[in-house]
Amino acid sequence: MRDATPQTIYLSDYQPFGFLVDEVALTFDLDPHKTRVKSRIAFRRNPAAKDAEFFLHGEQLKLISAQIDGKPVAPEVTDRGLTCAVPDAPFIWEAEVEIDPKGNTALEGLYMSGGMYCTQCEAEGFRKITYYPDRPDVMSIFTVTINGPHPVLLSNGNPVAQGQNHAEWHDPWPKPAYLFALVAGDLVAHSDRFTTMSGREVDLNLYVRPGDEGKCAFGMEALTASMKWDEEVYGREYDLDIFNIVAVDDFNMGAMENKGLNIFNSAAVLASPETSTDDNFERIEAIIAHEYFHNWTGNRITCRDWFQLCLKEGLTVYRDSQFTSDMRSPAVKRIGDVIDLRGRQFAEDQGPLAHPVRPESFQEINNFYTATVYEKGAEVIGMLKTLVGDDAYAKALDLYFERHDGDAATIEDWLKVFEDTTGRDLTQFKRWYSQAGTPRLAVTEAWDAGKGIFTLTFTQYTPPSAATPNPEPQVLPITVGLIGADGAHVAPSRVLEMTEAEQSFTFDGLDARPVASVLRGFSAPVVLAHDLSKEERLLLLAHDSDPFNRWEAGRTLARQSLLATITEGSAPDAEWLAALQAVLGDETLEPAYRALMLGLPSHADLANTLYDTGKTPDPAAIHEAVEATRDAMAQAFVSTLSELYDRHIVDVPYQPNAAQSGKRALTNAALALLTRVQGPEHAQAQYDQADNMTQQLSALAALLRAGHGDKALAEFEEQWRDDRLVMDKWFGLQVSQAAPEKAAEVAQTLTQHADFNWKNPNRFRAVFGSLAMHHAGFHHESGKGYALLADWLIKLDPVNPQTTARMCSAFQTWRRYDAARQEMIQTQLDRILASPDLSRDTSEMLSRIRG
Ligand code: PHE
Ligand code: ZN
């Protein structure tokens, strides 16, 4: 498997393919170990290309026969593909290959999951199905014939013929091979219809394994809501007669936007009140929207090459976040997104895996489906919209769809539509796509009482990284509002556009020195250093009209209190606690927002802050400080929390909507704290009465943390042993709620459970993703967490390189820690690297992490 010399691919080497593909016809004769794939492909020379070598990608294929214009040919075959002498004139390539779907545990190409056939072709999986120019700029029209003894046989586009054990599909829209999909199996459909804005009828089907029919309704509603939203907000109409979604249990990622046939990890689509939490519902709604939105941003307009991945992913994440804001609460969505960005993307951007939103080189593209490409890519679009304004954004998007429909486009094309719409020069803005690293933004204030002028002076600095050794100043939209001592606004929000390394902005006509609310709505993905006094932060926490910055003021006070506890052993800050209590009791604020206010910075966030200020984080000390702070919160707020619990407990039938789930978020945050002071009875009562998973799981978590979870845990297993998705929660929760010194041991014991199917990515992640996220457990001084994860990564790599490589990121922050921990981690990294035949995916990740 391992390449003798791992090859690095560079953006600057891009060349168009030497041939164009007019049409592709594929015929599949399905068989678990010996599927035959016949291809018939019409090629002609590409007048725009100078490179004329006829190279077709192909991996793990058994070539049975090949013909050009009906005459047998003998191509030169390697383990990466084939070359062949071809005529100058247009010609027909025909080949037959044999593949082994059942033996395909990597879950890339054609594979089997729970008795059904399915495919995953992004990024480079199609080459495991047949010989083909497997690159996104080669677009063609596909006709697919499927033969096999299965009631349901699906592919992209519209159905043209359906018979006994036979189906034909035709996709009229040219597409790259990564959007190809095929599904076959004994599946049942949950169906609906949608009438598009121009009055076309579309059949909608959500296909699931028998038994899962009861978990389809919510996904279908999310789909129709997404279709409607994309028409109303972006003017985008669906373009086929049918839209199919299939749920599969074994899937490396969340879901995939194959044209007209989206394939979903069952965890990302199946939902019912009894089996799914409110967070699951919200995530499913967002992923359904995301994949659907790709139909325009990804499929109709695709990427020229994989370096442009953010062209479709950044934009589609941005679009799905707008959708969620419209469906639910914009403030709650924004805060959640920023927590996620700081947790995952900032860690990436500030460590050895840092890369630009548009990377310039890679060895294995699967390793670049990252928080930087997706989430920072979406932030960049949000900044662009802030800079040009909503109207110009809408015009630019219209122009993008008009100009590039049917194209395989680039970031240059994307920025050009904004330049042409607005007349702006986006040369400097483009650095957001080419520079790695999180900018540090520092702000100082000056007040001229005589003139009534308030000045904010900003400096920006991006630490150099291997990916970007000499960062230059970026364009930062900084949204600022000014607040008076009484908490009222003295100047409405204004967007400052910073372009220099250092730049000042003035506000005049003021009667008194204001308090500045800087970076409202988190208007740029930077680390902000703003030396506000505690009184000023308390004022913002009590009064800022920007909900993000109001939350941020509380979070900063919480972080400062925690850091003082960690480094000086001081008690939690009483003034912060008092101010927080006032916010909690403010019934004008949404419950979901108040639930967020009860959250604390993560252990990893605190570790990073310590590291940033030149201190070595001690995971055990961080854990103790967080526990002490939670205990203090529980004691200080006990009566408020009881009141909140009683006032907001939902006693009407379960609905996964924002209003109800916000109340549950608040009452369950209250329950977690109350359990600390009142013991487990309350949580046990909620557990016993729960009729939905949100209430059941929250109660179970509180019981486990209190050390009283054994009975409920056994009951839970008994109740849910046949539900794979619920059992993933059962596995994960035991690890995440374990005491630090127990976490690795709990994980290890779970790997011996009869239902620990480690080849299933969801189950593997339930245990080891939870371990990696358990900061004090994973980084326990015994080093057991590191060793256990390494053992299992070594075991998984030959089976599923993609999931193994993604999980390696658990080690990306290793340089933050003390010498002893670094040494233990390095030993494990080297042990994994030394395993024979390590995949290209994992070896690239580990060598980048190890440095
Ligand atoms: N393109 C998918 C999405 O973002 C993600 C994905 C990538 C899925 C690669 C599978 C493999 O929607
Ligand atoms: Zn996507």
Is any ligand 1 atom within 6 A of the Cβ of residue 375? no
Q: Which residues contact 658 (CB under 8 A, 6 or more apart)?
A: 327, 328, 329, 332, 592
SS3 of 22, please? strand
Index of the ligand 1 atom closest to the CA of residue 125: 11
Residue nearest atom 11 in ligand 1 by C-alpha distance: 122
Angle between helices 658-678 and 693-705 (to 10 degrees): 20
pLDDT of the residue at 52: 81
State the Cα–Cα distance between residues 593 and 590, nearest whole angstrom.
Answer: 5
Six-digit token string for 487:
């908490």
State the Cα–Cα distance between residues 280 and 286, nearest whole angstrom.
Answer: 10
Six-digit token string for 672:
């977690």
Mean pLDDT of 77-101: 98
pLDDT of the residue at 2: 40
Is any ligand 1 atom within 6 A of the Cβ of residue 120? yes
Six-digit token string for 514:
């204001």
CA distances from 367 to 55, 306, 372, 776, 815 (A): 24, 11, 11, 27, 21
| Nearest bound ligand to the CA of residue 179 | 1
Closest Cα partner for 661 from 582, 595, 736, 571? 595
State the Cα–Cα distance between residues 834 and 851, nearest whole angstrom.
Answer: 15
Span from the CA of 365 to the centroid of ligand 2 (angstroms) = 15
Question: Which residue type does 517 have?
Answer: S
Span from the CA of 248 to the centroid of ligand 1 (angstroms) = 14
Q: For 411-424, what is the HEC assignment?
A: HHHHHHHHHHHHCC
- Checking phi first, is residue 772 left (phi over 0); if not, alpha (psi -120 to 50) or beta? alpha
Index of the ligand 1 atom closest to the CA of residue 317: 4
Is any ligand 1 atom within 6 A of the Cβ of residue 297? no
Closest Cα partner for 119 from 192, 178, 207? 178
The count of residues in the chain is 851
Is any ligand 1 atom within 6 A of the Cβ of residue 253? yes
Index of the ligand 1 atom closest to the CA of residue 369: 7
Six-digit token string for 554:
């509380």
Are 821 and 814 in contact, with CB atoms under 8 Å apart? yes
Span from the CA of 834 to the centroid of ligand 2 (angstroms) = 34
Is any ligand 1 atom within 6 A of the Cβ of residue 303? no
pLDDT of the residue at 470: 98
Residue nearest atom 1 in ligand 1 by C-alpha distance: 256
Per-residue model confidence as pLDDT tens digits over 408-427 = 999 999 999 999 999 999 99
User: Does residue 846 have a pLDDT over 90?
Assistant: yes
Mean pLDDT of 615-643: 98
Residue to mutate (ligand 1; options 134, 256, 802; most atoms within 8 A of CB): 256
Span from the CA of 564 to the centroid of ligand 1 (angstroms) = 42
State the Cα–Cα distance between residues 777 and 789, nearest whole angstrom.
Answer: 12
Per-residue model confidence as pLDDT tens digits over 332-364 = 999 999 999 999 999 999 999 999 999 999 999
CB-neighbour burial class of residue 110 (10 A; exposed 0-12, middle 13-18, buried 19+): buried
Please give the backbone phi and psi of residue 605, each rounded to the nearest 5 degrees, phi first. Answer: -60, -45
User: Does residue 5 have a pLDDT over 90?
Assistant: no
Is any ligand 1 atom within 6 A of the Cβ of residue 313? yes
C-alpha 339: how far from its chain's center?
A: 13
Six-digit token string for 787:
């060793």
Per-residue model confidence as pLDDT tens digits over 316-325 = 999 999 999 9
Q: Which residues pair with 92 in a beta bridge?
A: 42
Is any ligand 1 atom within 6 A of the Cβ of residue 122? yes
Residue nearest atom 6 in ligand 1 by C-alpha distance: 256
User: Does residue 745 have a pLDDT over 80?
Assistant: yes
Span from the CA of 255 to the centroid of ligand 1 (angstroms) = 6
Residue to mutate (ligand 1; options 295, 312, 369, 841; most atoms within 8 A of CB): 369
Catalytic residue among 257, 291, 379, 745: 291
The per-residue DSSP string of 30-92 comes to --SS-EEEEEEEEEEE-TT-S----EEE--S-EEEEEEETTEE---EE-SSEEE----SS-EE
Task: Break the chain down into helix, strand, coil percent, rounded to 5.
Answer: 45, 20, 35
The per-residue DSSP string of 218-264 comes to HHHHHHHHHHHHHHHHH-----SSEEEEEEES--SSSEE--TTEEEE
Six-digit token string for 147:
């033969």
Span from the CA of 258 to the centroid of ligand 1 (angstroms) = 9
State the Cα–Cα distance between residues 8 and 368, nearest whole angstrom.
Answer: 13
Residue nearest atom 3 in ligand 1 by C-alpha distance: 256
Mean pLDDT of 2-18: 84
State the Cα–Cα distance between residues 763 and 292, nearest whole angstrom.
Answer: 26
Index of the ligand 1 atom closest to the CA of residue 108: 11
Span from the CA of 623 to the centroid of ligand 1 (angstroms) = 35
Is any ligand 1 atom within 6 A of the Cβ of residue 121? no
Index of the ligand 1 atom closest to the CA of residue 252: 10
Span from the CA of 314 to the centroid of ligand 2 (angstroms) = 8
Q: Which residues pair with 456 in a beta bridge?
A: 445, 505
Six-digit token string for 830:
């080297």
pLDDT of the residue at 3: 46
The helix/strand count (H/E) of the chain reads as 28, 31
Is any ligand 1 atom within 6 A of the Cβ of residue 262? no
CB-neighbour burial class of residue 626 (10 A; exposed 0-12, middle 13-18, buried 19+): buried
State the Cα–Cα distance between residues 763 and 771, nearest whole angstrom.
Answer: 12
Span from the CA of 257 to the centroid of ligand 1 (angstroms) = 7
Is any ligand 1 atom within 6 A of the Cβ of residue 256? yes
CA distances from 444 to 461, 484, 488, 528, 530 (A): 15, 18, 22, 11, 7
Residue nearest atom 7 in ligand 1 by C-alpha distance: 122
Per-residue model confidence as pLDDT tens digits over 475-528 = 999 999 999 999 998 988 999 999 999 999 999 999 999 999 999 999 999 999
Six-digit token string for 619:
């995971």
Span from the CA of 14 to the centroid of ligand 1 (angstroms) = 23
Are 482 and 510 in contact, with CB atoms under 8 Å apart? yes
Residue to mutate (ligand 1; options 246, 250, 253; most atoms within 8 A of CB): 253
Per-residue model confidence as pLDDT tens digits over 609-621 = 999 999 999 999 9
Residue nearest atom 2 in ligand 1 by C-alpha distance: 256
State the Cα–Cα distance between residues 286 and 275, nearest whole angstrom.
Answer: 18
Is any ligand 1 atom within 6 A of the Cβ of residue 291? yes
Residue to mutate (ligand 1; options 122, 245, 295; most atoms within 8 A of CB): 122
Percent of the chain with pLDDT over 70: 99
Is any ligand 1 atom within 6 A of the Cβ of residue 365? no
CA distances from 369 to 82, 294, 297, 602, 718 (A): 27, 15, 16, 24, 37
Rg (CA), the chain: 27
Index of the ligand 1 atom closest to the CA of residue 257: 12
Helix or strand run (H / E) with residue 448: strand 440-448
pLDDT of the residue at 1: 40
pLDDT of the residue at 311: 99
Closest Cα partner for 355 from 125, 11, 14? 11
Is any ligand 1 atom within 6 A of the Cβ of residue 290? yes
Percent of the chain with pLDDT over 90: 99
SS3 of 109, please? strand
Index of the ligand 1 atom closest to the CA of residue 298: 1
Six-digit token string for 231:
């028409």
Span from the CA of 371 to the centroid of ligand 2 (angstroms) = 12
State the Cα–Cα distance between residues 701 and 690, nearest whole angstrom.
Answer: 13
Closest Cα partner for 526 from 477, 597, 471? 477
Is any ligand 1 atom within 6 A of the Cβ of residue 255? yes
Residue 599: CB atoms within 10 Å: 15
Residue nearest atom 9 in ligand 1 by C-alpha distance: 122
Index of the ligand 1 atom closest to the CA of residue 366: 9
Is any ligand 1 atom within 6 A of the Cβ of residue 286? no
| Nearest bound ligand to the CA of residue 268 | 1
Mean pLDDT of 177-205: 98
CA distances from 614 to 567, 610, 611 (A): 12, 7, 5
- Considering the entire predicted model, what is its pTM? 0.98
Span from the CA of 822 to the centroid of ligand 1 (angstroms) = 33
Are 616 and 622 in contact, with CB atoms under 8 Å apart? no
Would you call 291 a catalytic residue per the annotation? yes
| Nearest bound ligand to the CA of residue 264 | 1
| Nearest bound ligand to the CA of residue 319 | 2
State the Cα–Cα distance between residues 402 and 409, nearest whole angstrom.
Answer: 13
Index of the ligand 1 atom closest to the CA of residue 290: 12
Average per-residue pLDDT for the chain: 98
Please state which of the ranges 42-51, 643-652, 694-703 shows the lowest mean pLDDT.
42-51
The per-residue DSSP string of 301-322 comes to BEESSGGGHHHHHHHHHHHHHH
Span from the CA of 275 to the centroid of ligand 1 (angstroms) = 25
